[in-house]
Amino acid sequence: QVVGDRAELRVIAGPDVDAHHFQTRPSHAEAVRTANVAIRNGAGFDNWFNRLLGSTNFRGTRVVATEGLTLLREAPRPGHNHGHNDPHAWQDARLAARYIRNIEAGMARADADGAAHYRERAEAAVARLEALDAWVRAQIATVPEARRVVVTSHDAFAYFGAAYGVRFLAPQGIGNTEPSAQQVARLIRQIRENNITAVFVENISNPATLERLAREAGVTVQGRLYADALSAADGPAATYEAMMRHNVGLMVRAMAG
Ligand code: ZN
């Protein structure tokens, strides 16, 4: 969206990949060695990428897309209350616009001659995100407030929830950590007691925990949300905007029951 044809993109953690637990390969070190700019999410999401930049002595421009954002903290969970930052800020379209600006600034630092090119593209991208943000709000507004609850695999949607007024419940933590039996039992009780119908698996998480939980709660899994990675080019979430529209479309239909 920002660089257009002025730079060649090499994506290390690609479609449908869990970037919390990514294993780099020698080909990734090679990609970094010949790069001018390295862009990562930051906020504890992709520490492996930072280590890769260190081990390859990367001397180019480093961009942390979440720089300057006010981050949410991980909700305390039994056995996991060390209070990490929540890295999933892209799930709020207004914060995604801040990512665009950080990337624009980084590209202009690395390639001053292209600054006007990056600015023009970033401004167009931010305008699209503002329209997307308004669309998400209008969609969520069609669901009665009491029905705005979604169950999904891992805690990836806190920023979405804070921005758009949806409550998310997940058995697995922010870093895709496995839940205890008590956490699963509690979630099953919540689904039954609140008659929650919006239950989803995710593209990057093993669906087994969620499918078992849905079976025990007596609800049907309503599809797959794209949490931390896009789909392949021929899938339903090949771009950021397609991902948001796909997720919101599924959530709104399922929340309405
Ligand atoms: Zn995640």
Name the burial class of residue 216, with classes exposed (0-12), middle (13-18) and buried (19+) by CB atoms within 10 angstroms of its CB: middle
pLDDT (0 to 100) of residue 80: 58
As a three-state string, the secondary structure of 95-151 is: HHHHHHHHHHHHHHHHCHHHHHHHHHHHHHHHHHHHHHHHHHHHHHHCCCHHHCEEE
Q: How confident is the model at residue 118 (pLDDT cuts 50, 70, 90)?
A: very high
* Mean pLDDT to the nearest integer, 91-112: 98
Ligand 1 centroid–CA 97 distance in Å is: 19
CB 37 within 8 A of CB 59: no
pLDDT (0 to 100) of residue 79: 59
Ligand 1 centroid–CA 154 distance in Å is: 7
Which range among 11-20, 73-82, 125-134, 148-157 shows the weakest confidence by mean pLDDT?
73-82
Which range among 76-80, 102-106, 116-120, 136-140 shows the weakest confidence by mean pLDDT?
76-80
Which CA distances in Å does 208 have to 20, 174, 200, 212, 236? 18, 17, 12, 6, 22
Ligand 1 centroid–CA 246 distance in Å is: 18
Q: Counting runs of H as helices and runs of E as strands, what totals does the chain give?
A: 8, 6
Ligand 1 centroid–CA 6 distance in Å is: 30
pLDDT at 134 over 80: yes
pLDDT at 76 over 90: no
Ligand 1 centroid–CA 229 distance in Å is: 9
* Mean pLDDT to the nearest integer, 203-232: 95
pLDDT (0 to 100) of residue 78: 61
pLDDT in tens, 182-195: 999 999 999 999 99
Name the burial class of residue 177, with classes exposed (0-12), middle (13-18) and buried (19+) by CB atoms within 10 angstroms of its CB: middle
pLDDT at 83 over 90: no
pLDDT at 59 over 70: yes
pTM over 0.85: yes
pLDDT in tens, 219-244: 999 999 999 999 999 999 999 999 99
Ligand 1 centroid–CA 86 distance in Å is: 9
* Tokens (6 digits) for 251: 């959530």
Closest among 24, 256, 25, 33 to 142, alpha carbons compared: 256
CB 96 within 8 A of CB 195: no
pLDDT at 147 over 90: yes
pLDDT (0 to 100) of residue 74: 82
pLDDT (0 to 100) of residue 77: 66
Which range among 16-20, 86-90, 131-135, 170-174 shows the weakest confidence by mean pLDDT?
170-174
Residues with CB under 5 A from ligand 1 (ion): 156, 228
pLDDT (0 to 100) of residue 84: 87
pLDDT (0 to 100) of residue 174: 86
Let me know the angle formed at the C-alpha of 207 by 202 and 213, rounded to the nearest 5 degrees.
110
What DSSP state is assigned to residue 3?
Answer: S
* Mean pLDDT to the nearest integer, 191-203: 96
